[in-house]
């Protein structure tokens, strides 16, 4: 594998015949040190030219790069399929921004995958560019990765992704009262600047190429009941673009917003992605 002058391996652990590696590196996009995990299945051979497909899992609020890869139970299925997994952090950390650690929904652990434009946040909080450009570049330069697969980023960069899936995503943030203060903090008060990070708004005007989406929701999700997620808004928006968006949605009775929910259906999501990644 090609080495990066800045990429530093933090740890290595064998799992289901493959290896989970944690790396850190200085990010020019976020102007701070970022960390990510990558799982390479046993089909990956050192110094081989053969590339494997990969999934990117973008965790939500309060999470870091470890939550999904340690709690979702995905690695056994990825090992069987020969698919790699990349789990990045959800925000910059330790940037010294006043108030960045004061709230669960703003700052540390809550990057929202946007490129902030307000003076307070714009130097470091550029997670959209980090996830859609810098990190994939680092991965492709240093690991034998050939493909990858969250709704907003996929709709804005459809040629990068063959498929996308989500567990209980925030589908319409620009119309979610609980998030308006956060969005304004990052992007300012102009709603025209919000819509390019809003999956529902993007879906309503999407013109291709074709993209495949699987979205799962638990019926007992507290964020669903508080009108934070708005999956119905996304489903309605897809009707305007159903020629280009192949959407599968499922509601699972009794499940909430936690990782037990994700564990229960992660195999379905990996099977869904493998249909497209392993063609």
pLDDT, tens digit (0-9, with 9 covering 90-100), for 27-40: 999 999 999 999 99
- Is pTM, for the whole model, over 0.85? yes
- Over residues 259-277, the mean pLDDT reads 97
The residue ranges of every structural domain in the chain are: 1-148, 164-258
User: What sign for the dihedral angle of Cα 218, 264, 74, 103?
Assistant: positive
- Over residues 250-258, the mean pLDDT reads 98
**Fold assignment, 1-148:** Rossmann fold (3.40.50)
Q: Taking 70 as the threshold, does the pLDDT of residue 17 lie above it? A: yes
Helix (DSSP H) and strand (DSSP E) numbers for the chain: 10, 9
pLDDT, tens digit (0-9, with 9 covering 90-100), for 216-247: 999 999 999 999 999 999 999 999 999 999 99
Q: How many CA atoms, within 13 angstroms, populate the side-chain half-sphere of residue 224?
A: 19
Q: Taking 70 as the threshold, does the pLDDT of residue 126 lie above it? A: yes
Closest CA to 268 of 210, 212, 216: 216
Q: Taking 50 as the threshold, does the pLDDT of residue 1 lie above it? A: no
Round to whole Å and give the CA distance between 235 and 240. 10
Strand partners, 163: 212
**Fold assignment, 164-258:** Rossmann fold (3.40.50)
Is residue 54 within 8 Å of residue 40, measured between CB atoms? no
- Over residues 6-13, the mean pLDDT reads 95
Q: Taking 50 as the threshold, does the pLDDT of residue 190 lie above it? A: yes
- Over residues 97-118, the mean pLDDT reads 97
Where does the pLDDT of residue 79 fall: very low under 50, low under 70, confident under 90, or very high at 90 and above?
A: very high
pLDDT, tens digit (0-9, with 9 covering 90-100), for 202-214: 999 999 899 999 9
Round to whole Å and give the CA distance between 140 and 5. 15
Round to whole Å and give the CA distance between 233 and 129. 26
The secondary structure of 173-192 as a DSSP string is: GGG-GGGHHHHHHHH-S-GG
pLDDT, tens digit (0-9, with 9 covering 90-100), for 171-187: 999 999 989 999 999 99
């Amino acid at each position: 594998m090609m080495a990066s002058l800045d990429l530093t391996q933090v740890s290595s652990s064998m799992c289901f015949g493959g290896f989970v590696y944690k790396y850190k590196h200085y990010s020019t996009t976020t102007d701070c040190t970022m960390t990510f995990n990558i799982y390479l299945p046993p089909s990956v051979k050192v110094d081989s030219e053969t590339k494997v497909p990969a999934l990117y899992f973008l965790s939500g609020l309060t999470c870091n790069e470890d939550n999904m890869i340690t709690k979702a139970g995905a690695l056994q299925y990825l090992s069987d399929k020969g698919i790699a997994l990349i789990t990045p952090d959800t925000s910059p950390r330790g940037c010294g921004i006043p108030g960045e650690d004061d709230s669960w929904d703003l700052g540390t652990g809550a990057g929202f995958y946007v490129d902030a434009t307000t003076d307070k946040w714009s130097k470091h909080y550029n997670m959209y560019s980090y996830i859609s450009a810098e990190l994939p570049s680092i991965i492709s330069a240093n690991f034998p990765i050939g493909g990858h697969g969250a709704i907003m980023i996929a709709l804005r960069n459809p040629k990068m992704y063959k498929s996308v899936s989500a567990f209980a995503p925030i589908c319409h943030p620009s119309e979610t009262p609980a998030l308006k203060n956060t969005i304004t903090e990052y992007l300012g008060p102009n709603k025209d600047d919000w819509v390019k990070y809003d999956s529902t708004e993007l879906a309503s005007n999407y013109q291709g190429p074709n993209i495949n989406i699987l979205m799962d929701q638990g019926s007992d999700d507290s964020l669903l009941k508080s009108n934070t997620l708005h999956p119905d808004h996304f489903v309605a928006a897809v009707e305007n673009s159903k020629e280009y968006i192949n959407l599968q949605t499922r509601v699972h009775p009794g499940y909430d917003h936690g990782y037990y929910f994700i564990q229960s259906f992660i195999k379905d999501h990996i099977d869904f992605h493998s249909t497209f990644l392993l063609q």
